[in-house]
Amino acid sequence: MKLFRLDASIRVEGSQSRALGDVVEAEWLREDPGAEIIRRHVGTEPVPATAWASAVAGGATPEGARTPAQRAAMALAAADVDALEQADALLFAVPLYNFGVSQHFKTWVDLMITDPRMAPGAPSVIAGKPTVLATVLGGNYSPGTPRAGWDHSTDWMKRVIADVWGADLRVVKREFTLVGVNPALDQFTDMAKELHEAAEVTAREHGRFLASKIAV
- Per-residue pLDDT tens for 93-136? 999 999 999 999 999 999 999 999 999 988 899 999 999 999 99
The answer to whether 171 and 182 have CB atoms below 8 angstroms apart is no
DSSP state of 62: -
- The amino acid sitting at 114 is T
Domains of the chain: 2-215 (3.40.50.360)
215 — pLDDT class (breaks 50, 70, 90): low
pLDDT digit string (tens) for 163-175? 999 999 999 999 9
Which burial class, exposed, middle or buried, applies to 181 when counting CB atoms under 10 A from its CB (0-12, 13-18, 19+)? Answer: exposed
pTM confidence score: 0.94
String of b and e for 50-81 (b: at least 16 CB within 10 Å)?
ebbbbbbbbbeeeeeebeebbebbbebbbebb
